Structure 1
């Protein structure tokens, strides 16, 4: 964990000074963090993620890269062929599997840092939550899916301006890396509505209804997936997601609801971010019955990083610091609880001590 703690400290300090030395901007977030320090944040995240040799399924990706030489003749265009083509290109550069891990880390983290740079109100808080909420660790586990999620996250502006054609093209492109990205196609029409409308409450009720009747719901769902590459999820039996994670994800949404009018005033596009965060929470609620549904929250958790950086600003000026420090403290405790107490996370690298 030593490297991960150092990573947290460096990223937070760099990003804090990036905002401290920011300049005024006419963009959505009103401030423009210092670009050199933003690059240092991205560099630190990429370095730590890209030079690892463990965590999650990292070993299996490295092993597959070394064992399977890909060419145009053996790429299966019926599956996630985009990632296979990506690996094929990398294999022409080097047969060292670390290039796969480093390049995916570079693409994923660079896109995430760039979007947070553009839309986050408190840049350092967004990056801090990216790490302490566990998303940074998840990016080292679900490599393909998180890479697809970061590509879609980079298309946030097309949600804001309603350019669905370009947004759909990017989703389809990302689906060649992980087909689950296609779920964002119908989701687009859901989130392009005013937050906290009747439709929002209908979605919340639907998620609770699914939880209550999960056995019947799962039978219908997995029967429809039986002949797809996700059919094996039917036998998935690792239990449900931790209820504490659900509560942690619910906090920024509850705060956004409490200050919804002021949030719209200071962040006119907040309805879309709130809706995306709500959809992510609903998937997380359902995942308490089967952890596999938490995989979909990868696509929505990134938007909470933007949301939480704005909800601090809905409070009175004299209360902002108190709320800010509470968020920092409780997310730190959550990070410690998950990484040290629950999972006993260990970071290993052949390049970093």
Structure 2
């Protein structure tokens, strides 16, 4: 927990000496955050993610890397093997063959490849980069850079490619998703979502989609049977038997994930009048995320509760935008109030966090 606390402290200190410049163009805007600030904040997180030797599933990734074969032929063979992560295995073998047999450098590469797209997208679109980074840590999304890194890697890459959604580059988006699916198959959920997120938030099509998600809770037994068939060869196959004992997603997490949607819904007419395309996409992504989290309350947090990671990052851009452009009459109060609430959420949810590296040893 000490390591994650230091991330929050660093961001708060930088907030005192730096800010995001926003240039308005009517209903659009352009933001600028110092490269030094952007790289330093994410670089600090990447540094600790790279050094770790023990954190939940890290040992499994280290073991997998150490046991991986070497050779270009072995890398090519990995692409044609049966299994859930042929793309990941291909990259792992290729890296071990051409660059280094040290798992430290492999974890570093994954951390950089995950952190950079997030940092660049925040820097490009968030009206308050450091506040988005603060929410990234206090909302506990940052933990994905230490645990569940294969899934979060593809989530970060697709988040970094959000311009494909904004500019409606359908073919390129589909190709990107299919390539990422060789690393983690659950990214395929983005394909149907792509055709929904352009709708005006809270209008009929989006609300119908959310309603269908909630209705599926009542039909969860046959739904799980279908998922078991679909996910038989994925990373979740070994977890299917745990559904009966799993308590699902923590309701407190769902409550906090719903906060930006509640704020957006209250002033939906003003948002519709502003009609910022990317913010509309962020609202719809966040709505989908909350809907899936609701299902997770009643099912397995292991399987269902991990899917919203593909949408959660958008809410971190949405929140500061709402406060700066929609709730201008209470901007300061909301920034402070939600900041304190997320800090409370962090301390409530981070009690079991620990960290282990050769540099620090085991610390909590």
Which of the residues 293, 298, 318 maps onto 2:304? 293
Structure-2 separation of matches of 1:266 and 1:320? 20
Aligned to 1:239: 247
Aligned to 1:39: 39
Superposition misfits of 4+ residues, deviation over 6 angstroms? none
Q: Does the C-alpha gap of structure 1 residues 306 and 83 become closer, same or farther in structure 2, counting only changes over 3 Å?
A: same
Structure-2 separation of matches of 1:76 and 1:249? 37
Matches within 5 A, 1:295-334: 295-334=306-345
Which runs of 5 or more structure 1 residues have no equivalent in the other structure?
none
- Deviation by residue 1:253-293 (Cα, 9 ceiling, x = unmatched): 11011122333417343211111111111111111121110
The 3-state SS of whatever aligns with 2:54 is: coil
Aligned to 2:265: 257
Q: Note the C-alpha offset of 1:302.
A: 0.9
Q: Note the C-alpha offset of 1:242.
A: 0.3
Aligned to 1:347: 355
Aligned to 1:87: 92
Tell me, yes or no, if the aligned pair for 1:15 and 1:37 is still in contact at 8 Å. no
Tell me, yes or no, if the aligned pair for 2:62 and 2:103 is still in contact at 8 Å. yes
RMSD (CA atoms): 2.2
Q: Does the C-alpha gap of structure 1 residues 51 and 11 become closer, same or farther in structure 2, counting only changes over 3 Å?
A: farther
Figure out how many residues of one structure are paired with residues of the other and give that number: 349
Structure-1 separation of matches of 2:277 and 2:187? 27
Aligned to 1:283: 292
Which of the residues 188, 200, 208 maps onto 2:214? 208
Structure-1 separation of matches of 2:340 and 2:203? 32
Structure-1 separation of matches of 2:46 and 2:227? 37
Which runs of 5 or more structure 2 residues have no equivalent in the other structure?
none
- Deviation by residue 1:202-232 (Cα, 9 ceiling, x = unmatched): 1222122122232232233324444666444
- Deviation by residue 1:101-159 (Cα, 9 ceiling, x = unmatched): 11111110111010000111111111111111111002211111000011100111111
The 3-state SS of whatever aligns with 2:314 is: helix
Matches within 5 A, 1:1-353: 1-14=1-14, 17-19=17-19, 22=21, 24=23, 29-71=29-71, 72-73=73-74, 74-77=77-80, 78-79=82-83, 80-92=85-97, 93-226=99-232, 230-237=236-243, 238-264=246-272, 265=274, 267-288=276-297, 289-291=299-301, 292-340=303-351, 344-352=352-360
Q: Note the C-alpha offset of 1:35.
A: 1.5
Structure-2 separation of matches of 1:245 and 1:311? 20
Q: Note the C-alpha offset of 1:58.
A: 0.7
